[in-house]
Amino acid sequence: MPEYGKKSYWDDRYKNIEGDPDEPFDWMCGWEQLESTISPLLPLKSCSMLVVGCGNAPFSAGIHNAGYTNSIHVDYSEVVIEQQRKRYPQVDYRVGDCLNLTEFEDESFDCLVDKSLIDTMMCYENGTETTEDLFREMHRLLKPGGRLIQISLHKEDEVRPFNDTEGCDFVCTTCKLVNMKLFDPNTSRKESTESSLSHTFAVFDKLQGTSLEEREKITSQHPLNIVNALSDEALNELRAVVELDKPKDPRVVSWRDCNRPSDLFDVFEAVIEDYSEIMAEVLEANRTEILEDIVLAKASADSSSSPSSSSSSVELSPEEAGFSSSAASAVSTELELDEDLREFIVVD
Ligand SMILES: C[S@@+](CC[C@H](N)C(=O)[O-])C[C@H]1O[C@@H](n2cnc3c(N)ncnc32)[C@H](O)[C@@H]1O
């Protein structure tokens, strides 16, 4: 696992070997997904806000552009802060160690937002103790009645215990938000494990320093009603959808070079279907004919091959393999398969 708990890891990540900036990247999800959940929890756009461990996420600019202009965005990597200042000059970026933000006085902020800094803290040496230090620092910086919003890759029962960090006086609500990257065509379904279905969304309200009346009012609001929180039923449905989709998704099988016709015979039936469609597009030909050609070719190869010659290393010419001339011309020449096409063709 990368050394997420080390500053040198982040500095190196943010500038590649040539010194070029890393592409902006949002861990877990961006402002677009979170806006409808966060906005009702922070109704006052003019609130003083600190976004901790901001990295190079477009999230910071999203939050600022949504109207939270009284926000400061901190990271301890000078490298990334310099890049972000150039990318988003309208945003107030600062360099700072979130475990010890001495530049800010006690009770400076109405709200704090942490997207995945907690996960990084858990990767530090003595991760639990360091995360507790983070909570104490967040607690110090919040005004009485102030709110810490946290989004984490960790599960709810790993996040909740930090509510009881010694020296902190919080009340919290946690819930799950769906991992939208599961449904992003640019990311692989290989991500769809049980633990990747959802992220934890947590709200910690600081009670320390509030009057008895305020304390009661804040406490009585918990558990908070959180927009887009996944119900158990929705999570089960999601589990079922992802599980059901898995066997249908050819991309779960690894790709190996599929330029030879004989390789095609090892391809799953379902993938042959997909392939005929792609070939039909390439050749601007009739898909049914191509599919029939492939099936015929496969049948004739099956019947003519001896057990020793049935391996994928046997080289048949396309015509020998029973392809029509149009399909043959497509498979006999070295097909320049682009990445999308390769994803569909699966040979183990
Ligand atoms: C997992 S990334 C999250 C980045 C961003 N918040 C996002 O959601 O995409 C963690 C970030 O925390 C920063 N970080 C780690 N330890 C820190 C510390 N002690 N003080 C400030 N930033 C820290 C890293 O430099 C990195 O940018």
Q: How far apart are CA 112 and CA 52, in angstroms?
A: 7
Residue 205 Cβ inside 6 Å of ligand 1? The answer reads no
Number of domains in the chain: 2
Distances (CA, A) of 4 to 117, 122, 136, 167: 10, 9, 21, 26
What pTM did the predictor assign?
0.73
If you average pLDDT over every residue of the chain, what do you get?
81
Regarding the beta carbon of 59 and ligand 1, being less than 6 Å apart is answered yes
**Mean pLDDT, residues 298-302:** 72
CATH of the domain at 33: 3.40.50.150
Q: Which atom of ligand 1 is least distant from the CA of 151?
A: 8
Q: Which domain holds residue 323?
A: 251-302+310-344
Residue holding tokens 């910071």?
Answer: 60
CA–CA separation, 67 and 33 (whole Å): 16
Please indicate, yes or no, whether residues 322 and 192 belong to a single structural domain of this protein: no
Query: Quick one: the chain helix, strand, coil %, rounded to 5?
Result: 45, 15, 40
DSSP H/E element including 213? helix 212-220
Separation in Å, CA 190 to CA 60, 120, 182, 236: 29, 23, 9, 19
Question: Are 29 and 177 in contact, with CB atoms under 8 Å apart?
Answer: yes
Q: Is residue 138 part of a domain?
A: yes
Taking alpha carbons only, the member of 240, 301, 241, 239 closest to residue 265 is 301
* 1 inside domain: no
Is any ligand 1 atom within 6 A of the Cβ of residue 57?
A: yes
pLDDT, position 14: 93
**Adjacency order of strands within the sheet including 109-115:** 92-95, 71-75, 49-52, 109-115, 142-152, 198-206, 170-178
Q: Are residues 138 and 71 in the same domain?
A: yes
Domain assignment of residue 2, yes or no: no
Q: For residues 283 and 219, what is the distance between their CA atoms, to the nearest angstrom? A: 66
Could you identify the atom of ligand 1 that is nearest to the CA of residue 124? 16
Q: Is residue 286 part of a domain?
A: yes
Q: Pick the atom of ligand 1 nearest to 51's CA.
A: 6
Q: How confident is the model at residue 138 (pLDDT cuts 50, 70, 90)?
A: very high
- pLDDT tens figures, 146-201: 999 999 999 999 999 999 999 999 999 999 999 887 777 665 455 567 777 899 99
Long-range contacts of 222-226 (CB under 8 A, 24+ apart): 222/171, 222/172, 222/173, 223/173, 224/41, 224/173, 226/37, 226/41, 226/173, 226/175, 226/201
Shared domain for 78 and 156, answered yes or no, is: yes
Both 156 and 218 in one domain: the answer is yes
More confident residue, 293 or 198: 198
Q: How confident is the model at residue 287 (pLDDT cuts 50, 70, 90)?
A: confident
Instruction: Please say which residue of 208, 235, 262 terminates a domain.
Output: 235
The Å distance, Cα 34 to ligand 1 centre, comes to 18
Dump pLDDT digits (tens) for 316-348. Answer: 444 444 444 444 444 433 344 444 444 444 433
Helix axes 78-87, 7-14, angle to 10 degrees: 40
Judgement on whether residues 260 and 192 belong to the same structural domain of the protein = no
CA 73 to chain CA centroid, Å, is 21
Distance CA 155, CA 177 (A): 11
Write the pLDDT tens digit of every residue in 61-90: 999 999 999 999 999 999 999 999 999 999
Are residues 151 and 274 located together in one domain of the fold? no
- For residue 69, what are the CA distances in angstroms to 35, 60, 65, 203? 15, 10, 7, 21
Q: Of the candidates 235, 270, 288, which is a domain's last residue? A: 235
